[in-house]
Amino acid sequence: MNDMASTIIITIGIAFNLLGCLGLIRFPDVYNRLQSATKCVTLGTCSILLGVFIHYGFVDVGVKALIAIPLLFFAATVGAHALVRGSYIAGIKLGKKSVKDDYKEAEK
């Protein structure tokens, strides 16, 4: 029973990872790529760790997987925010199809 549930949850996580990596390939500029890849891959990897926790239950390995979930969540989101702010300051242009730049208006 636990094997079945954990396999299903890990499969869902890998589907999210696949969609995120597809966005990493296909999107036009760095901001779109960062948005797609960070959200989907973080959610997918948190789902994989949740599947490991369900597979093992409340033993040492399961609790380690449960600890890794908030650690990964906060590290990935804070890292992505720093990355997009740094690349904006470095002057990397938006893609050709982008129509609105809220950060430039907020800077004034």
Partner 1 sequence: MLEILLYIQIGLCAFCLYRIIRGPTVADRMVGIDIFGVLVVGICAIMAITTDRMFLLDIGIAWVILSFIGTLTLAKYLSGKKLNE
Contacts with partner 1 by CB under 8 A lie at 6-7, 10-11, 13-14, 17-18, 20-22, 24-25, 30, 33-34, 37-38, 41-42, 44-45, 48-49, 51-52, 55, 60-61, 64-65, 67-68, 71-72, 75-76, 78-80, 82-83, 85-87, 89-90, 92
C-alpha–C-alpha distance, residues 37 and 53, integer Å? 24
57 close to 12: Cβ distance less than 8 angstroms: no
Tokens 């597979």 locate to 55
6 close to 73: Cβ distance less than 8 angstroms: no
CB of 101 to partner 1, least distance (A): 16
Rank residues 68 and 98 by Cβ distance to partner 1 and give the closer one: 68
CB of 106 to partner 1, least distance (A): 17
**Nearest CA to 50 among 64, 38, 34?**
64
